[in-house]
Amino acid sequence: MTTASPVSAPPAGPCAARLLTRAEDGERLHALLWRAGPGWRMISSAVLGGGIGARGWVLNAQVPHGYRRTDPDRHLAELAAGAGLDGPGVGLMTAADVSRHARAADGGAQALVTAGIDVRGWAAAPAEGTAVPAQPGTINIVVAVPVALTDAALVNAVATATEAKVQALLEAGHDCSGTPTDAVCVAARTPAPGELAHAFAGPRSLWGARLARAVHRAVSTAVTSG
């Protein structure tokens, strides 16, 4: 884990995620579970619990290479139930070994990243896109800030996290913007009654800058140690 001062990361973020182990189809597979609890809003591109809304947990599950199920949302829901989770949450998938994850924190912003980059490239590729069932993402980013963000700022935070990911990939010598199936989840606190949520999360805003540094460090560590 890499941590930047001066503010220590609160324990209630994704850096507190636990590693779970299961046997599936004869393989030993892992998952990372963050029980966020109440009081969090999340935005995610995940196949389970994607979009914007109140979410109480995040499960980042490893699946076998050559994953063939066409119902990843149902599969993730089964895994969540098996882990004792209930209520709305976010479920992510990856073929990477999530036990080899990276954690980073900066001024209260936290990031947890799993990365497998065997299949990578640029977002604006010349080939046409295809309508295929969702596949497990290979760079999964879970990032949280201990403050409230507006819906627009949550969207802004996803863009900031993605920019930080690409920066880390280029600095690590990878000629790509990511993999075709990367996923991201950004969590922010639910605003208290009368509280004004932060309206910006770009890389030069207070919390966007902290989020970007945490994601950059976590992705850098994940892609160089994976």
* Edge-to-edge strand ranges of the sheet holding 90-94: 18-24, 27-34, 58-62, 90-94
Could you give the CA distance from residue 53 to residue 43 in angstroms, rounded to a whole number? 7
pLDDT at 125 over 80: no
* Chain segment 145-182, per-residue pLDDT in tens: 999 999 999 999 999 999 999 999 999 998 888 888 89
pLDDT digits (tens, 9 = 90+) for 93-112: 999 899 999 999 999 999 99
pLDDT at 121 over 90: no
Strands 18-24, 27-34: pairing is: antiparallel
CA distances 69 to 33, 98, 133, 137, 204, Å, are 22, 19, 9, 14, 41
Instruction: Determine the 3-state secondary structure of 92 from DSSP.
Output: strand
